Structure 1
Amino acid sequence: MPAELYGVKAVDVHAKIKLLIDGLVNITDTTGEFLMTLEDGRVIDTKGWNDWVSKSTVHRTVDLVNLQTTISQTDVSQEWTHGIGLLGLWQYYELTGDAEYLAIIENWFRDRFAAGGTTKNINTMAVFLTLAYVYERTQNETYRPWLDSWAEWAYHDLPRTRHRGFQHITYLEANKDQLWDDTLMMTVLPLAKIGRVLGRPHYVAEAQRQFLLHVQYLCDRPTGLFFHGWEFTQDQEGSSTSTTGHNFANARWARGNSWVTMVIPEFLELLEPDTNSANADAIGLFLRDVLDAQCNALTKLQDPSGLWRTLLDVPVEEGSYLEASATAGFAYGMLKARRKRYWTGNTESAISAVKAVLDNVDERGELLNTSFGTGMGHDLQHYKDIPVTSMPYGQAMAIMALVEFLRQFM
């Protein structure tokens, strides 16, 4: 095993990952700026981990008094931000076998289950991808009813768009008749994984259909990139034209694209047991081609720094700032796709992105230049105005990119 590759030492990558994990479990919203207040009075902390502070993993001083005050004022939070955070931790646990990280994950779920769960929507489904992996590994039967309940909701009761797409319903918005890139990562992939571990092939088949539908309406065919969202619209009575919908601002948004880059290799890996199925093989080949087109487009849009802009095809001079979480997502997806032989492109772009991610992890373990959670924009300015702050998904996407990079050393 080499100690150094591409000018990067493995020991330094491990050190950065541990810093990122330390930063992850210490993220707090000290101002309340990122709290989400629901109509029923609940307050969801989308930024911090609330009471997820493990003494065994927290090595720097935390103001536990102020943290506890925040906890008492908020719901025991479960959002997509936590879902991606858990996945990053799981992948580092898989790589190292260090039981400490598995304990953090299981303790997080223990606390959520004790609180009685939360509202089912596209984003809150995200955490169950990691739980499915944990259940598969531990066979802890207390997890099975949760996987069953949430997957059955997604399969039967999740609101649908025209053509039965998964409507991107969230805590605050119904987003009627809307398809988003994010849905593939937050709900479709968890449903597929649960289908695998519970032996329910109809979940996997539904996930396949959702991938095809989302690609149909979100892929920008001339570029190979993806628009953030699509909305089905009703024809106006008496109109001389017939339209099926629109892509909002036609935003080729970086993090939305990174979800696609990440989720396709993950889904292709889930399909591997079905390689003898002509249907699965055809869908797999199709998704490989989609990924190839996207990655080829991305390599041409990368900044010399190794980062990508938050609006991929809009210059920095026009307000499209360099964004690190999407960069980490692209690095992860490209490297995994190459390792699994789903993509035959050059890894030079991904290695450059990994180095940029390493450069953007500060001494506190915070991934810098991470944009806050981003709703659907009706114009490009919306994306330019999103603030930059440390977020669990930024930490986790960086962890995932660096974990995948460490596999290069094996």
Structure 2
Amino acid sequence: MDAMPLTKPVLRNKIDLVAKAFSRLKGIKEGLVGADAGGIQFDEWDWEVGVGLYGFLRRASAANDRLAIDDLVDWYARQIARGLPPRQINSTAPMLPLAILIEHVDRPEFRGLVEDWADWLVHALPKTEDGGFQHVVKERSNDGELWDDTLFMACLFLARAGVVMGRPDWVDEAVYQFMVHARYLSDPVTGLWYHGWTFNGRHNFARAFWARGNAWITVAIPELFKLVPELNSKDKRFLANVLASQVRSLKKLQRPDGMFHTLLDDPTSPVETSATAGIAYGILRGIEAGILPAADRRHAENALAAVLAHIDNEGVVQGVSDGTPMGHNLEFYRRIPNLPTPYGQALTMLLLTEVLLEGEEQE
């Protein structure tokens, strides 16, 4: 890793490099770097963009950067005007930043979309047995299946929409989804999460402790605490223990160099940067939310150092596993190749933005 001190200018430069590389990977001319670089040019309504937009909005809100917030408003207005893609779990991800953005701007069409989309999740999205959100994506309906990334992609939005719209029933539904997913995906022995569960056969597929899927959980639980300040105390208690149990195992499975393997408990599987970035971000947010002890910070810092070491001079995050549908055996996960991906860029931007914001808040 570059020995250069991780100052705020260095962090900002890294974030801009990673954002520009994100844009190149998606075939877009410019990056998510603010109004001084021509605004936001991501031109796709997609879960990967949703993750990047969330980090950008967190940074803009903390700095009260009106130009950056105006960029976000313009981006959403363009997307809505040209028509949004069909609704499913992954296309819900960009709705989380929008549910936060409507507290900063008076745009009735934005509020209307948030309300309509949240109502769709509750009443029209296909449900599994026990009322779980079926992991419907553009490629397939995944009948009867729960996947761990649903919580970040869809349930955080529903929770925040419930807060903003004064709909405690939406908050309750979002929290219920955390509970039902924990019931079927969280392993009581290790605290780690399986990639998925199917009610058609009632099993956890390959019983894979897939790293990026676990990272979505490490992120989603503390984000829920932040997005719903008045979360019920018994729900907070339950979810805090779920996260603490998971992180205890994650700390044991972290490599000395800070990285995590694609299969967390399989050192023969490739190391994986997007999961490492997500886990580091989730641990930092968990400490900030008071869920995790401050001593866990060293594990996040080790992971941060590892992620920085995997960013090349062009801002491309290396060592990211390719898109991973549900695997039916562990060898499937071992064979997923590592290559640059937009979501690797997005998770890394989220981590670097969190570290930058922490430094600014301490001043």
The two structures have a TM-score, normalised by structure 2, of: 0.91
Q: What is the rounded CA distance, in whole Å, between the counterparts of 1:246 and 1:393 in structure 2?
A: 28
Equivalent residues in 2 for 1:102-251 (5 A)? 102-233=69-200, 245-251=202-208
2:321 — aligned with what?
Answer: 371
Q: What is the rounded CA distance, in whole Å, between the counterparts of 1:14 and 1:55 in structure 2?
A: 11
Candidates 305, 308, 320, aligned match of 1:355: 305
When residues 138 and 12 of structure 1 are mapped into structure 2, their CA distance, relative to the original with a 3 A threshold, is same
Q: What is the rounded CA distance, in whole Å, between the counterparts of 1:228 and 1:391 in structure 2?
A: 20
Q: What is the rounded CA distance, in whole Å, between the counterparts of 2:87 and 2:133 in structure 1?
A: 13
Q: Is the deviation greater in 6-15 or in 332-341?
A: 6-15
Equivalent residues in 2 for 1:2-401 (5 A)? 8-28=6-26, 48=27, 77-233=44-200, 245-274=202-231, 280-315=232-267, 318=268, 320-344=269-293, 345-401=295-351
CA contact (8 A) 1:95 1:403 kept: no
CA offset at residue 129 of structure 1? 0.1
CA offset at residue 197 of structure 1? 1.1
The two structures have a TM-score, normalised by structure 1, of: 0.81
Percent of counterpart pairs with the same letter?
37
Gaps of 5+ in 1: 1-5, 29-47, 60-66, 235-244, 275-279
Q: What is the rounded CA distance, in whole Å, between the counterparts of 1:300 and 1:160 in structure 2?
A: 35
Gaps of 5+ in 2: none
CA offset at residue 270 of structure 1? 2.7
Q: What is the rounded CA distance, in whole Å, between the counterparts of 1:20 and 1:97 in structure 2?
A: 22
When residues 335 and 53 of structure 1 are mapped into structure 2, their CA distance, relative to the original with a 3 A threshold, is closer
Q: What is the rounded CA distance, in whole Å, between the counterparts of 2:106 and 2:255 in structure 1?
A: 45
SS at match of 1:146: helix
CA offset at residue 9 of structure 1? 2.5
Q: What is the rounded CA distance, in whole Å, between the counterparts of 1:125 and 1:185 in structure 2?
A: 10
CA contact (8 A) 1:178 1:229 kept: yes
CA contact (8 A) 2:310 2:319 kept: yes
Q: Is the deviation greater in 49-58 or in 301-310?
A: 49-58
SS at match of 1:137: coil
Q: What is the rounded CA distance, in whole Å, between the counterparts of 2:321 and 2:61 in structure 1?
A: 28
Number of aligned residue pairs:
354
1:45 — aligned with what?
Answer: none
Which one has a bigger Cα radius of gyration?
A: 1
1:3 — aligned with what?
Answer: none
Q: What is the rounded CA distance, in whole Å, between the counterparts of 1:25 and 1:256 in structure 2?
A: 24
SS at match of 1:138: coil
Q: What is the rounded CA distance, in whole Å, between the counterparts of 1:362 and 1:58 in structure 2?
A: 21
CA offset at residue 54 of structure 1? 8.5
CA contact (8 A) 2:34 2:68 kept: no
CA contact (8 A) 2:48 2:342 kept: yes
CA contact (8 A) 1:225 1:252 kept: yes
SS at match of 2:283: helix
